Amino acid sequence: MSTQAHSIADRATTFATYTGGSSAVIFGLSANEIAAFIGAAIAILSFLVNLWFKWQHLRIVKAAAADRPDCATCPERDV
């Protein structure tokens, strides 16, 4: 990993630690409740990341199909 990537990862983990700790103190959440919220956030984030990469993959496949001369009748070509 590059130095910039480590720096961003360090900032993100620090932010998550401080946010989680302060929310536990302020709202009186237990460790199980915090873990449930973090799990839900990770699930939503994973869905969005997967959606993004599927969209990128579809875009690449459509571009590749449009460049193929033997694919004049491909359904991807009409989109």
Summarised one tens digit per residue, pLDDT across range 41-59 is 999 999 999 999 999 999 9
Q: 12: helix, coil or strand?
A: helix
**Would you state the pLDDT for residue 71?**
60
pTM for this one? 0.50
Number of domains in the chain: 1
Residue 52 · residue 63 · CB < 8 Å? no
Domain that holds residue 21: 3-78
pLDDT exceeds cutoff 90 at 66: no
Distance between CA atoms of residues 65 and 76, nearest Å: 7
Burial class (CB in 10 A: 0-12, 13-18, 19+), 25: exposed
Percent of the chain with pLDDT over 90: 27
What is the structure's pLDDT at 1? 53
pLDDT at 39: 93
Q: How many CB atoms lie within 10 A of CB 14?
A: 10
Place of tokens 């875009």: 59
